[in-house]
Amino acid sequence: MAALEPESAPAKAGEAGRQRIILIRHGKPHIELSPRTGHHGFRDYIDDYEEAGLDPLSAPPDELQDLVKELTCVFTSGKRRAQESAAVLAPHAELIADPLFAEAPLASPRIPLLRMTVPKWAVVSRILWYAGFSPRIEGYRRSKHRARRAADILMARAQADGAAALVAHGYFNYLIGGQLRRRGFRQTGRHKAKYWNAVVYEKD
């Protein structure tokens, strides 16, 4: 996390238009990873994961708390795991929950006889989602469109206050990051499947 600490002082509102946006993945959900399972088991796991809150033993790193300590508000999705993570990370800040920041969804592909661990099912599911497999869920193009709207909201807050933070979900944060890079933001850190992972975007 130390690599995410910017060299300059935190941006302030009205400071020559400087903007900082921090995209943070939620902490560990209070749910056990399933053992090897079939597509029915993975479908049930998706539902359980979406309803899970934050594991009470999952705490944000000190470096991440330092990164958001001066913010007066933090954005989050409508999911319990994200809202509870934001409350633990920044108890001093107002939480602004918006379903717009929800994760890009997954669906369980019907592959009979195949049994895998949940993380492997998630990889297969995401690859198929890219290829157009989105039965009764939001597809890739709609998720990208939503990411553009999310980037607009975060940029507006960063323009007004100098900085903005979002505690949301790993893949959707990645999509938002792509939008920010296209708009001239510099990236510090990498988007990865790690709880409490943070990526900082800055623009002068």
Q: Provide the angle, in degrees to the nearest 10, between the axes of the packed helices 170-182 and 140-161.
A: 70
pLDDT digits (tens, 9 = 90+) for 117-138: 999 999 999 999 999 999 999 9
- Protein fold of 14-203: Rossmann fold (3.40.50)
What is the C-alpha to C-alpha distance for residues 123 and 145, in angstroms, rounded to an integer? Answer: 22
Enter the tokens of residue 95. 């939480």
User: Angle at Cα 32 formed by Cα 26 and Cα 33, nearest 5°?
Assistant: 90
Q: pTM score, two decimals?
A: 0.90
What tens digit of pLDDT does each residue of 179-200 get? 999 999 999 999 999 999 999 9
Instruction: Say how far apart CA 143 and CA 181 lie, in whole Å.
Output: 17
Q: How far is CA 124 from the centre of its chain?
A: 20
